[in-house]
Structure 1
Amino acid sequence: MSHSHSDRRNRGSLGTVLLAGACCAGAVAYAVLVAPSMLPPQDVETTNVTTPEVLGSVIEPEEESTDLDGPVGHLRINVSDRGLAWVQTLNCTGDLAVDPEPCAVMAEASAEFAGDPAAGGSESESKTDEEGADEGATGEQLFTEVRSGTVCTDKVYGPQEAAIEGTWEGEEIDTTLSRKGSCEEARWQRLRAVTEQIG
């Protein structure tokens, strides 16, 4: 074998060795410098998003909590206002999610009325307070008429009048409302959800 042929052969193997070394060095540099930046931070927990547990917690809405139980009742209301008159009905099933809005307003009025010692009321209301059963106003209490002897102003707040009959929270209701005098106006405002036109 000639000397020149041997030199070419050594140069060829030297080039291969250098190329292989450069590739290895590149791979090591990539592994050391680039690969760690592609990993998640150590304090972050990785989760497979397609697991049913994760999807379930994302898709399922939180249950709404309501402080008030809906009232149960059926009322027929006759309202007159400056020569106009209308008749409307209100049905409340106790489920505030599906009942008309006036049912929720009446539930709030009942809760406020039960907690207001200045609201006045009938003898049956006094008995309820004495017995300590004060969870909420009963139908009779919410629609109670003004007791005789109650001090009220004579101011007329409006010409509107209403007659309400039906059942409310297991009680028979048959009462009339007006806006003549401060006590009657207080009743009107308390029961406004049923005297206003129900949409």
Structure 2
Amino acid sequence: MLRRLALTAVVSLAVLSAAAPGAAAASGPLPLPSPLPLTLPLPLPQGEDDARTRLTVTVSEAGDPSAEGIFELECAPVGGDHPAAEPACDRLAELADEGTDPFAPVPRGAMCTQQFGGPATARITGTWRARHIDAVFSRADGCEISRWNNLRPVLPGVR
């Protein structure tokens, strides 16, 4: 009896193993996850320009006391007390030229690596390209780390 049960299990496993590649070939390879969506250039209201960029950047737990705090950033002309104001404004202009919205949250359902980039958090509020901004950043997973790094030097490097 035990021998018959073992033989049935082995035969069943062999049949399933032989059928699985055929089923996969018939349905094709598994689809790859789609990349994060690209955004179109953000239109400026008529008569407005980048002079309307005025942001408050609040950073905490970045691992560097000089990178933590509340910083004001103004662009065109560059101003405020942000520690890297000119490069930050240059980066924002570059992202605008690419048609990228650096303040957009990670899309729902995005596949993100489960890595922890540290406890750093940031909140950016104000106006960018004459648009109201209220965005929160963290380093909780691969997507959030990428989002943070994409906005450097507006957001500081972290330890």
- Partner residue, 1:12: none
Q: 1:105 aligns with which of 83, 91, 104?
A: 91
In 1, Cα distance between equivalents of 2:133 and 2:56: 10
- Higher alpha-carbon Rg: 1
Amino acid at match of 2:95: A
Task: Give 1 or 2: higher helix fraction.
Answer: 1
For 1:108 and 1:147, the matched residues in 2 are separated by: 22
Assess if the C-alpha contact under 8 Å between 2:91 and 2:154 holds in 1: no
How far off is 1:186 after superposition? 1.1
Q: Is the contact between residue 50 and residue 130 of structure 2 (CA under 8 Å) also seen in structure 1?
A: no
Q: 5+ residue gaps in structure 2?
A: 1-48
Alpha-carbon offset, residue 83 of structure 1: 9.0
Q: Within 1, Cα distance between the matches of 2:152 and 2:77?
A: 21
Question: After superposition, where does 1:80-91 map in structure 2 within 5 Å?
Answer: 80-81=60-61, 82=63, 84=65, 85-91=68-74
SS at match of 2:138: strand
TM-score by length of 2: 0.54
Q: C-alpha deviations, 1:126-184, integer Å up to 9, x for none?
A: xxxxxxxxxx33xxx22100111011111012221101100000111001000111111
The answer as to 2:120 corresponding to 1:160 is yes
- Shift of the 83–194 alpha-carbon distance from structure 1 to 2, 3 Å rule, reads closer
Could you tell me how far apart the structure 1 residues matched to 2:135 and 2:77 are?
A: 25
| Residue matched to 1:57 | none
Partner of residue 78, structure 1: 58
Unpaired runs of 5+ residues, structure 1, are 1-69, 115-135
Counterpart pick for 1:178 among 132, 138, 142: 138
- Structural mapping, 1:1-199, within 5 Å: 71-72=50-51, 73-81=53-61, 82=63, 84=65, 85-92=68-75, 94=76, 100-101=85-86, 102-111=88-97, 114=98, 136-137=99-100, 141-196=101-156
**Alignment RMSD, CA only?**
2.6
SS at match of 2:120: strand
- How far residue 95 of structure 1 moved from its aligned partner, in angstroms, is 5.0
| TM-score, normalising length: structure 1 | 0.44
| C-alpha displacement of 1:187 | 0.8
SS at match of 1:195: coil
Identity among equivalent pairs (%): 33
How many corresponding residue pairs?
Answer: 100
Whole-angstrom distance in 1 between the partners of 2:149 and 2:74: 20
Give the Cα–Cα distance (whole angstroms) in 1 for the partners of residues 91 and 73 of structure 2: 12
In structure 1, C-alpha distance between the alignment counterparts of 2:119 and 2:148, rounded to whole Å: 12
